Amino acid sequence: MVTKHQPGPLLAGRTAVITGAAAGIGRGITEAFLAHGARVLAVDVDAAALAGLDKRAGDSPLATLRVDVTAPGAARRIADECEPDVVVHNVGHFLRPPTEFGSEAPAAWARSHDVNFGHVLTLTHALLPGMVSRGRGGSIITLTTVEAFRGIPGHVAYSAYKAAAGQFTRSLAVETGRHGVRVNAIAPDVVESRQLPYSDWVGETDRWRWATWAPLGRHGTADDVAGAALFLASDLSSFVTGTTVHVDGGTLAAGGWYPRHGGGWTNRPLDP
């Protein structure tokens, strides 16, 4: 059915579940959804951050739930709290410094699986039947990463699980299309956040290098990703399913080519 775009909030009357909702990208998505009229269940493991989010939301229709999405029974707890039209799987993390695969303990793979992919399966499994039975369609959005589309040394398992989330997105979209449930992913590159404070890591003397790391000449923000999530959650994307939106400033498209600070291009990123 063709959707006619109407003025006003993009998510009015819809309920969304957002995991990892209290900080960084998740917080940006939560605030954007609230601003566009959604009722939001914000799920996070950090009680203090959830309290801060709740205070900031004011009179907006926000509910919070402190739970570790990787814990047994977490998906059922979330499913018992609401009947969502939109699900945003935002939880994910490198978990550790870069480590060569041959030196990595197998236990680290299991934890990375739980944090970066396992909860996507369990929570979708818990929420999808209700989305289908209510007959309103819906949108499922998973945060992956640019590293799911290129090699990244030192984080082999992480990138593999993020790539798996992308394939899950494509396959589930085929299954659920007839029910009006759309399934898509968002793949950011560097996004400034408390989790990844890139400005602090780079330092003032190397700040000029930002202009050489992405064709758009800057790192991403939580608001950049929130805009993509808002698009995928709303009727603006009513004929979009099974795809990944790359919110990376063009880094994947550049394929390792970087703009020089003074003009021209290089595939040697340490060149000024």
Residue 4 falls within a domain, yes or no?
Answer: no
Spatial distance between the Cα atoms of 44 and 29, rounded to a whole number of angstroms:
13
Residue 184's CATH number: 3.40.50.720
Residue 78 falls within a domain, yes or no?
Answer: yes
- Per DSSP, the residues of 135-179 read TS-EEEEEE--GGGSS--TT-HHHHHHHHHHHHHHHHHHHHHGGG
Read off the tokens for 54. 């709740």
219, 190 contact by CB (below 8 A): yes
- Structural domain total, the chain: 1
Residue 6 falls within a domain, yes or no?
Answer: no
pLDDT in tens, 245-254: 999 999 999 8
Confidence (pTM): 0.90
Contacts of 268 (CB under 8 A, 6+ apart): none
Residue 75 falls within a domain, yes or no?
Answer: yes
Tell me what the mean pLDDT of segment 215-239 comes to: 95
pLDDT band at 142 (very low <50, low <70, confident <90, very high): very high
pLDDT in tens, 96-137: 778 888 998 899 889 999 999 999 999 999 999 999 999 999
Query: What pLDDT does residue 207 have?
Result: 67
Query: What pLDDT does residue 195 have?
Result: 66
Residue 209 falls within a domain, yes or no?
Answer: no
183, 173 contact by CB (below 8 A): yes
Residue 177 falls within a domain, yes or no?
Answer: yes
Residue 166 structural domain: 15-197+219-252
Classify burial at 225, counting beta carbons within 10 Å of its beta carbon; exposed 0-12, middle 13-18, buried 19 or more.
buried
State the catalytic residues: 158, 162
Tell me what the mean pLDDT of segment 139-168 comes to: 93
Residue 272 falls within a domain, yes or no?
Answer: no
Tell me what the mean pLDDT of segment 87-103 comes to: 88
86, 138 contact by CB (below 8 A): yes
Residue 203 falls within a domain, yes or no?
Answer: no
